[in-house]
Amino acid sequence: MQQAMKGNLSIHTENIFPIIKKFLYSDHEIFLRELVSNGVDACQKLKALSSLGEFTGELGELKVQIGVNKDAKTITINDTGIGMTAEEIDKYINQIAFSGATEFVQKYQDKISDARNQIIGNFGLGFYSAFMVAKKVEIITKSYKAEVPAARWVCEGNTEFIIEPAEKLQRGTTIILHIAEDSEEFLDKERLKNILNKYARFLPIPVELEGEQINTTKPLWTIPPAELKDDDYLDFYKQLYPFSEKPIFWIHLNVDYPFNLTGILYFPKIKNTIEIQKNKIQLYSRQVFITDEVSDIVPEFLTLLHGVIDSPDIPLNVSRSYLQADSNVKKINTYITKKVADKLSELFRNDRKAFEEKWESIGLFIKYGMLTDEKFYEKAEKFCLLKNLEGKFFTLDEYREHTRANQTDKHGNLIWLYTNDKEKQFTYIDSARKRSYDVLVFDDILDNAFGERLERKLEKVQIRRVDAEVIDKLIPKENEHKSALSKEEEEKIKELFKKVIADDKISIQVQALAPDELPVLITMPEYIRRMQEMSRLQGWSWALNEKNFNVTINGNHLLISKLLQESNEEKQSALAAHLYDLAQLSHGILEGEKLSKFIQKSIEFLG
């Protein structure tokens, strides 16, 4: 095809370019990713042909070069790869239905086991992303076949094109973009550099912008783990996340069956929050950055991790911007979950003490996994830890045994007590300790939901906050306190407090507690408390009022006896009201005007 050729592009719509510009790609900067990726493909193809002996010439320096000319308003992308003949331009550029990369893989798949992995451009439309930013595109190319002359293709953003002979001595392809007026932002070198740093920083062929190499051609995840040291992983993490603390540990993924997947997942130091940690895993396909929205391929709880996943088997749509539903996605999802669970299990078995020291960071992550992924829960049961107020750690089985003798109710249920604010709940913690009950620390953002999950999964285990109305329901011990009040006195006290509280919806009971515990205690039904916690997490308002808690009167307290002995009904009611206010104060619900009046009453009592 020595003579110039004019023609129309083989497409099914007369005006595809506005469609490409507006709808095919979500972001116009993608043009640079696509064209640079095509240039890398061209170089990879030539390397493959050389390894097969089908190209015997000098490979020379395989690379992709980008240049920008603000005066001419052009961007040039040049590669030293396989190049094209005029016939190939006609086939691969004009006839949009064909993809040169796809045909190449099909041709050599029996000869090169990882040919598919070496070729990025599986989408025939990738080249046409150029017209998102260019009003005119030129291709000047020379095939690796030495005897074939160079060719030039020109198209001005419509269905007409020209192919003609060209002068080009060096093998490869040069694409010249004549930038449209509405896309002149891309004529800025720093703008292009930022795009390349995002999409091309780990491409396997050198990529240069105005002579400066942008990328690392052999990123860490492509190197066998046996060849790497801890410092290598830490340096790579710093490269990915320069402002983050050092990760706790990491997992190097490397699998080639039943799908191809490589990558490195890091466990960051997770704070007591979730949302700000997400979208830190970068998804690549053959070292080309695709997205950091990986929720379709990575289980929800694993989005808390940082790192890189690279797989040619992740199905992408035509613009590579979005994942598509596919059986491989589910397989990869399952595989990653298993690898993470296995790594955590290994760390727990090999060095439990170190695992416990890391719990502050990994505990939230593990709980999130147990809440959202059934398979992970099954594995994590063995290494999930509970921490008590004394700072001791227990597995679920260990804690069951730890509490069995002393925290079982009359129905045979284990009652696990916890605090989520040891300062505010100190009175109740102190009461539990006096009875030799153990108290867990549940102060993570997920602990409310996590406790409910454990209750559903663990047989005959109930989890209650230390100020819930539960302690009195545990089986009394031999040394449990006997009531100092008669039944008649108990009823009298109840009637007195009913008058003072004046709310029939509040349950009032008298119980024989230790003499040194509070005279009046407020406890909250666990389901009410959980609703409050959920409301708080969701940002809803939930006002604690007098309908939400119960009142327990300590029949063994000296002040209760004093109350019974008081003959002046006015003083008796005033003292009962003050004791009730004390209970509310202890529970953290006495505030505003009520608190002010309580303080004034206290002063009067002291006087």
Partners of 418 in the beta sheet? 440, 465
CA atoms within 13 A on the CB side of 606: 6
pLDDT computed for residue 160 by the predictor: 81
Task: Please return the burial class of 496, using the count of CB atoms within 10 Å of its CB with bins 0-12, 13-18 and 19+.
Answer: buried
The β-bridge relationship of strands 151-155 and 212-213 is unpaired
Question: Tokens 């002579």 — which residue?
Answer: 211
Q: What is the Cα–Cα distance from 558 to 564, expressed in whole angstroms?
A: 10
Q: Which residues of 232-254 are buried (b: 16+ CB within 10 A; e: fewer)?
A: ebeebbeebeeeeeebbbbbbbe
Cα–Cα distances in angstroms (integers) from residue 77 to residues 224, 314, 406, 584, in the given order:
32, 27, 75, 74
Under DSSP, is residue 279 helix (H, G, I), strand (E, B) or coil? coil
| Single-letter residue type at 533 | E
Task: Please return the burial class of 67, using the count of CB atoms within 10 Å of its CB with bins 0-12, 13-18 and 19+.
Answer: middle
- Dihedral sign computed on CA atoms, order 324, 328, 330, 335: negative
Question: Tokens 């590669």 — which residue?
Answer: 79
- Dihedral sign computed on CA atoms, order 447, 453, 458, 464: positive
| CB-based contact 187:179 (threshold 8 Å) | yes
Following CA atoms 341, 343, 344, 347 in sequence, which dihedral angle do they give, to the nearest 10 degrees?
A: 160
Question: Tokens 């002359």 — which residue?
Answer: 149
Q: Encode pLDDT of 102-149 as tens digits.
A: 455 566 556 555 544 443 444 456 788 888 899 999 999 999 998 899
Question: Tokens 């009167």 — which residue?
Answer: 553
Q: What is the Cα–Cα distance from 215 to 40, expressed in whole angstroms?
A: 12
**Which domains does the chain show, CATH number per domain?**
5-213 (3.30.565.10), 220-331 (3.30.230.80), 384-473 (3.40.50), 487-606 (1.20.120.790)
Q: Which two tokens stand for residue 570?
A: 């006015």
Neighbours of 533 (CB within 10 A): 18
The β-bridge relationship of strands 281-285 and 306-310 is parallel
pLDDT computed for residue 12 by the predictor: 47
Q: Encode pLDDT of 55-112 as tens digits.
A: 988 999 999 999 999 999 999 999 999 999 999 988 888 775 344 444 555 665 565 5
Under DSSP, is residue 313 helix (H, G, I), strand (E, B) or coil? coil
Give CA angle at 97 (91, 98), nearest 5°. Answer: 50
Q: What is the Cα–Cα distance from 78 to 36, expressed in whole angstroms?
A: 9
H-run or E-run covering 209: strand 207-209
Q: Which two tokens stand for residue 397?
A: 């089985």
pLDDT computed for residue 469 by the predictor: 63
| CB-based contact 282:197 (threshold 8 Å) | no
If we measure between CA atoms, which residue out of 42, 58, 44 comes closest to residue 112?
44
Partners of 289 in the beta sheet? 284
What is the chain's length?
A: 607
CA atoms within 13 A on the CB side of 96: 17
Please provide residue 510's backbone torsions phi and psi, each rounded to the nearest 5 degrees.
-110, 135
Q: Which two tokens stand for residue 223?
A: 């190197």
Widest pairwise Cα distance in the chain = 121
| CB-based contact 377:457 (threshold 8 Å) | yes
If we measure between CA atoms, which residue out of 390, 400, 451, 384 comes closest to residue 422?
390
Q: What is the Cα–Cα distance from 420 to 493, expressed in whole angstroms?
A: 32
- Does the N-terminal peptide bond of residue 258 adopt cis geometry, omega within 30 degrees of 0? yes
Following CA atoms 402, 406, 407, 411 in sequence, which dihedral angle do they give, to the nearest 10 degrees?
A: 120
| Single-letter residue type at 148 | V
Q: What is the Cα–Cα distance from 61 to 504, expressed in whole angstroms?
A: 88
Q: What is the Cα–Cα distance from 517 to 5, expressed in whole angstroms?
A: 98
If we measure between CA atoms, which residue out of 501, 604, 512, 505 comes closest to residue 561?
512
Q: What is the Cα–Cα distance from 34 to 42, expressed in whole angstroms?
A: 12
Q: What is the Cα–Cα distance from 503 to 521, expressed in whole angstroms?
A: 16
The whole-number mean pLDDT for each consecutive block of 10 residues of the chain, a chain of 607 residues, reads 63 52 68 92 93 90 97 97 92 62 55 47 65 93 93 86 91 96 95 94 95 95 95 96 90 87 90 62 88 80 90 64 64 88 95 93 90 93 96 97 90 91 84 88 89 93 81 51 80 89 83 80 74 63 58 86 88 88 82 82 75
**Gyration radius of the chain over CA positions:** 36
